[in-house]
Structure 1
Amino acid sequence: MKQCGTGDRGVNRPAFAQFRQCLQNFLIDFTQLGENGKNSSVFLQGVSGYLVGNFLGIQVDMAKFRDTPVGRFQNVKNIRLTWCEPDWFEYVPSDTDAFAYTTSTGLTIRPGRMFFDGGSTPRFSRLFAKFSPWYYTPVALVHDWLAETQACGRPLVNFNQSVAIQQEALKTMMVENEDWKNVFVFNATRWALKSSKGRRLWNLQEDVCPVPISRKKERLKL
């Protein structure tokens, strides 16, 4: 497939013209995929990776996915979320057999009580396959708990470790069920977490814990 925007960097084309070229390339490439017998699931994943990823400049790194180890989820069926307000829930761990994730290195993460809005995905990207904030809920719970403990002054891991654990947990889910696999989502979440905003949010300290919904909304706007 052609990479959108990889021509002469000295040419400053308007964003719409660049997007139109991406769309044209996409239609050519995925028409060919359809002729080769690919199903609609592959087609939708292609929309996600090709139109969103290439337009934003996110590369699909198969080697990074392949080389990432996997861990183990425990008691996923015991995840219980209580509705608080639109888009926001409260997570309270079960008294027995609480949800947890054990990393490939043996670290077990058991999320505690916190307010939760699913995965932090841009609203426009939710139009595409596997970009719902709730598609990978167990992974989002693990990472949000790491961020919560950091904000509350009792970090379990450092910033780079938190990104690595999120990536590992995401791959763990993806290899458990082929229908859940999307390597572009894997790369896009890493790109977002390691962005300057991701690092800035990680370093913010809070006085009230669990961090209230109102404060979490403010953090998302920073």
Structure 2
Amino acid sequence: MILERQNMLNIHQIEKELGEYSNREEIRDISELVNYYQLCHSAVGEFGTKLENLDADYQVRHNHNPIHHIEVRMKDVGSLLEKITRKGLPVKFESIKDNIYDVGGLRVITNYIDDIYTVQDNLLAQDDVTLLKQKDYVKNPKESGYRSLHLVVTVPVFQSDGVQVTPVEIQIRTIGMDMWASLEHKLRYKTDEPAEKVAEYSESLQDYADEINKIENNMQEIFHNL
């Protein structure tokens, strides 16, 4: 039984309320964006269930659970507009649907580096999951030192009028990688510090990324030898 329903926007209500303020094309774009958001939200829910099922299976039937925790997020409209503008695309719904694959996303935090690929393999082995893109920044780190495995995957979402196959981005990384990435994100996007200071800290973070990777490899080796 559903005890609490999320307060989702209704497309028909949007069209009715905005009808006197916007032209039809603008209303259509807004309505389609709301519909697509709901679709991506449902796809995130599908993958969330899959990952929670894997988490439960690891706990019950295995000696080691590779999943430390799972985070869910939906990209806000401001970030979407910034991203399509940066790509030089028209500010229209089609630009988002055809070019932005991380409207909905999940982040899986693992205990060890090998766990990243265990989770990936178990997820991609499921019949209704299709891999569209993979970027392995664990084996091939970014110049900044960033390490993470990025997957763009699709899953069928069942709606009242049929099935929609919808993309979701899943990032998989270790606790150490996640700690580093959170600080690097804050330094890159969330600080008003002078450029010289940011550059100095960025160089330090690049060194720390290598140190964290070395420590995590050593700890993984100890774990496997126990």
| Bucket of the pairwise TM-score, normalised by the shorter protein | under 0.3
TM-score (normalised: structure 2): 0.27
TM-score (normalised: structure 1): 0.27
More strand by share: 2
